[in-house]
Structure 1
Amino acid sequence: MPENALNPAKWLQVSLDCTPADVDPLEEALLEAGAVSVTLGDAADQPLLEPGPGETPLWEALTVTALFDLADSGAMAEAVIAAVRETVGRLGEPAERLLATLKAEELEDEVWERSWMSHFKAMPFGQRLWVVPSWDKETREDAVELRLDPGLAFGTGTHPTTAMCLTFLDTFFSAEDYSSFRESPPTVIDFGCGSGILGIAALLLGAESALAVDIDPQALTATRENARLNEVDDRLNCVDIPELKGREADLVVANILAGPLIELASQLSALVRPGGHLVLSGVLADQSQAVRQAYLDHGIELQCDMLEDWCCLHGRRV
């Protein structure tokens, strides 16, 4: 008798890698095979610009994941996989490429709902800062813990661009660089806040207040919730870009992409008070010189730290 015969799996999760052109026919094929849900994910850790009106951008390389209910259908996993192969096999030229990436995993009841919990662990950045999921109960002596779960908006610290910003913040506040230019703790602007992770980290590490800015309403929703979770919501305000006019902060962080950073060089430079610090990320190595030149033209000389193929640029406004 098979080992799981008395406690059969309730769900089958099937995933295939594809391109944007494959998404619609592949989704239809998976639903035809009996999938109860189909979701899309990034297969190559590619950041996306905020979409314009009417645009729905997709990653260049995607993973399509389908969930099949084995309990209700009474089907065996092998039969479901065979059905997937049959329906995807009708897609013509892409079929062989798609099926070559097929992966299947049997899941126990309800495990699929929170399976990501096993993959999202507490992560250290620098000497004190940790990004910790809400269900993690471990005690870390002398740690500054930022509670954050995967959610609506990008930014949990797993990408090199976010990781470098978090490490910079830990070093900045641990070394108390801010005390060299102001008696009170620094003010912060988190431009393109995503999940709010950078502004919240700065507040937990010692900032006085933070403004979080993003053109994505979901990002602002996630930021407010994460600020509440970390009990800094009384010191973090979400604002629209026009509300930044005339404002300055001691520390401005912007983890977006090279193109927008260059386009916004004048605006972001003006947000940094004289003597204040600017941190930019989301920049590939071969884009760093163009970004540095854009800010040098506004009086800020940027230094570059690297992780994998990404740069984190930081400097001080004179």
Structure 2
Amino acid sequence: MFELTLLCPEDRVETISDALDALDALSVSVEDADAQTEAEQALFGEPGMPPPKDGWQRSRVVALFPTEELAQEARQLLSLQDFFAGCTVLGVNDVPEQDWVRLTQSQFTPVDITPEFWIVPTWHELPEQARVSIRLDPGLAFGTGTHPTTRMCLRWIARQPQGSLGRVLDYGCGSGILAIGAAKFGAVDIDAVDIDTAAVESTLQNAQANEVQLSAGLPDKAKGEYGTVLANILASPLKVLAPLLCAHVAAGGHLVLAGILERQADELKEAYAPYIQLEVADSEDGWILMTATR
């Protein structure tokens, strides 16, 4: 494998990326050329929405080709194009052969939610102190236990009195990790829903692997009221979903929301104020968990 690396201004990123695709690049990635410096820029968008920009002011575009000949040919062809003005070729480099499966696995180690509750990839042994565990490997759907929002939701679940979760709804279930966590702590009537069919399939597979019972499907599968409603998404969709999610919370039931930055707490409280009173229940690395009881 060979990498062709380019330095491009923001307004050329989309055109250059499309051209690399047309030249049969195996993959094209865009990175902030100023990452890890004072000039680094944050750039992210909400799920289901287009990114705010196609790239950074100085973007590093990396295209992967199967042979050096193809990488050099792409380099020469791009250099001749008018739209390449302002771009720079940083080089063509050999990508060393690696055991990519082993390398990927090395990046995912057991995650402790509490001292006795762990998320453990299937290729790892269970820690001796794990009394409750979820076996989960990285896949197409969000939720491996490594992100602060997931950990905070699971911590909240683990701290509830046994049998108090009631009927559970995991809205935007991703990998199903929250629904599975609820099952591990005694919930027996669980619906997990997501707009992504790949997430629904992932949830069903992970539930089977963890020997728990739940029902998974698209959002219209959520019916009636629940003792616990969990939603680990992001602030914008959570605000839009406020009336729907609150309508699913039974009297005396719990609403648990994550995917919220600390600076977004007040806008979430305002969005949910007509229905329920949200409070910050946990925080980690700039993210917060917000909960309410009806």
Give the TM bin, normalised by the shorter chain.
0.7 to 0.9
Could you list the per-position Cα deviations for residues 8-54 of structure 1 after superposition, in whole angstroms to 9, with x for gaps in the alignment? xxx4456778769614523534774x74x115588768463235xxx
The corresponding residue for 1:133 is 121
Paired residue for 1:274, among 251, 256, 266?
251
Name the CA distance, whole Å, in 2 between partners of 1:155 and 1:272: 23
TM-score (norm 1): 0.72
Name the CA distance, whole Å, in 2 between partners of 1:143 and 1:272: 30
Paired residue for 2:176, among 196, 199, 207?
196
Query: What's the % identity of the aligned pairs?
Result: 34
Residue 108 (str. 1) matches residue 97 (str. 2): yes
- In the alignment, structure 1 segments of 5+ residues that lack a partner are 1-10, 52-56
Paired residue for 1:151, among 139, 145, 155?
139
Letter in 1 for 2:195: I
The corresponding residue for 2:195 is 215
Greater helix proportion: 1
* 3-state SS in 2 of match to 1:300: coil
Q: Could you say if the C-alpha distance between residues 61 and 131 of structure 1 is closer, same or farther in structure 2, counting changes exceeding 3 Å?
A: farther
* 3-state SS in 2 of match to 1:220: helix
The corresponding residue for 2:239 is 262
Could you list the per-position Cα deviations for residues 267-310 of structure 1 after superposition, in whole angstroms to 9, with x for gaps in the alignment? 21121211121110112222211211332321334234222332
The corresponding residue for 1:287 is 264
Name the CA distance, whole Å, in 1 between partners of 2:95 and 2:189: 47
Name the CA distance, whole Å, in 1 between partners of 2:253 and 2:5: 47
Q: Could you say if the C-alpha distance between residues 38 and 281 of structure 1 is closer, same or farther in structure 2, counting changes exceeding 3 Å?
A: same
* 3-state SS in 2 of match to 1:26: helix
- In the alignment, structure 2 segments of 5+ residues that lack a partner are 33-41
1:88 and 1:95 in contact (8 A); partners too:
no
1:17 and 1:61 in contact (8 A); partners too:
no
Paired residue for 1:236, among 214, 225, 248?
214
Residue 28 (str. 1) matches residue 19 (str. 2): yes
Letter in 2 for 1:158: T
Name the CA distance, whole Å, in 1 between partners of 2:292 and 2:216: 25
The corresponding residue for 2:38 is none
Could you list the per-position Cα deviations for residues 94-132 of structure 1 after superposition, in whole angstroms to 9, with x for gaps in the alignment? 524xx56x89673326x2355322222221112322222
Name the CA distance, whole Å, in 1 between partners of 2:179 and 2:7: 34
